[in-house]
Chains A and B, each alone.
Chain A
């Protein structure tokens, strides 16, 4: 009792110093978890703006994966701040505003988590998330993310190769596509209470795209556990496609023979194609895709020229040889 009181007091003092006492008073977290659950505490403090960049403030040992294998696929661009990456999100399951997920996902508990693997493969089943995570295969991958809305960030993900994971399920010869599905749970994902999109969110890749070396299943950010608003506990990252292809909070993976139905394609088929590769020569019908606003630069900076396949042509251009990318946008 005493210790609980003391700790709340101590956190309260910290908050008072920064003028955020209201935030801690109104929070629903139990006293113990404030100081016992490092992850939640971090989210709370970040939520109250106490830490601008966890990366710079937290000592290396405090992170879940302080030392990760560097990947040759990482780019050398300046990485966006933790704040940029975690307070400006499109994750309609937690609201349609860019700031909504950061506010509304704080209560989301991604544990326990399992993923159902179905369809055209020899080893389907329901797997616990922990079954997929092998610390030895974890890597840091610094990828550029280009949103279909015309902005971009550079994000240091923690994850593992999607191809390596998929191979374990032994997809058969009929497996031409892979379909991914996000969790459907109105009570945990309040944004699903409104039919802004057809829930659950689904996405898909052609099997050869999925087996490429670039796509990863991300479970972390900045060397630590993935924040809820970024798609905890596990999400896809496909760096040469517009951001919405990188589906978040995945609960189902299905190998299919036919091209899967994808959420944005279904919502507006003329605007969002199945492929949705970053392509400056094919505009969105309502806005140009030639340039992108680089998040993190001062507001008077001009936009950056968008690169074909978001700069990943070398790794992926061969996948689309002979294809009309204007038709298959």
Chain B
């Protein structure tokens, strides 16, 4: 037990030290170091898919792999973007907020790739089939709706738009709390029997929302 305790203390100290250092990152360090690294890391996934497609190493059904990977990464990036605020509150690292837009835009990027995979590789531009599929198949309807809802968010993600829209921007961007729910529903309805994965995403999403809820409650009771 003593060893475990000591280990815990050591990790605590280590984490504290690390956060202490991270906290002190200057604006320059964030803009010229942290963000480019994150940008490349997020792009790496896309690079891996492209390399996989060129190498024919995406498995027996490459189109299915592309569809699943791009879709799952879109959802994961949505949740990553939602992690920023709670993480900032816990760690008190304020510059984390500067990563949020990029994470959100990557969610849109992977969602767009997912949509393109469906239009091009899955349906092969069979517009009649696509246009009848979207309203007819609930899982496609919901998926398409969440993609549509992501578009205005991506378009208004610039600082300029943020300044121009002011309060409306905040209201508009609350959509980001609705979209993951639609995406998870899209995921569930596309499956046959095993719902473990969407349930994990749902749990993560609910946890993030609860953290926000309790924070707001605390804030309200203080004032």
Question: Which A residues contact B (CB, under 8 angstroms)?
Answer: 83-84, 87-88, 92, 96, 98-99, 149, 151, 194, 196-197, 267-268, 286-288, 290, 293, 295-296, 298-300, 302-303
Contacts and interface: CB of A to CB of B under 8 A. Distances in A.
Interface string B54-80: 001011111110100000000000000
Contact of A196 (B53, B58, B138, B193): B193
A325 B121 CA distance: 31
A197 B138 CA distance: 23
A151 B61 contact: yes
A83 B59 CA distance: 10
B63 A286 contact: no
Nearest to A287: B137
B60 A84 contact: yes
B48 to A, nearest CB: 15
B63 A299 contact: yes
6 contacts: A88-B59, A149-B192, A286-B189, A293-B61, A299-B62, A299-B121
B61 A288 contact: no
A286 B60 contact: no
Contacts of B138: 286
Nearest to A301: B124
A268 B194 CA distance: 13
Nearest to B139: A286
A149 B61 CA distance: 12
A16 B204 CA distance: 41
Summarize A's interface: helix, strand, loop or mixed: loop
Summarize B's interface: helix, strand, loop or mixed: helix
A251 to B, nearest CB: 22
B133 A92 contact: no
B194 A196 contact: yes
Contacts of B58: 299
A295 B63 CA distance: 10
A299 B53 contact: yes
Interface string B178-214: 0000000000011011101000000000000000000
A288 B133 CA distance: 8
B193 A295 contact: no
Contact of B129 (A84, A149, A151, A288): A288
A83 B60 contact: yes
Contacts of B124: 302-303
Given A196-B193, A267-B193, A302-B124, 16 more contacts: A83-B60, A84-B60, A87-B59, A88-B59, A88-B61, A96-B194, A98-B61, A151-B61, A194-B194, A196-B194, A286-B138, A293-B61, A293-B63, A295-B60, A299-B62, A300-B121
Sort A-B residue pairs by CB-CB distance and give the 5 closest, nearest first. A88-B60, A96-B194, A299-B62, A302-B124, A196-B194
B63 A87 contact: no
B190 to A, nearest CB: 7
A302 B119 CA distance: 11
B193 A197 contact: yes
B129 A299 contact: no
A288 B139 CA distance: 12
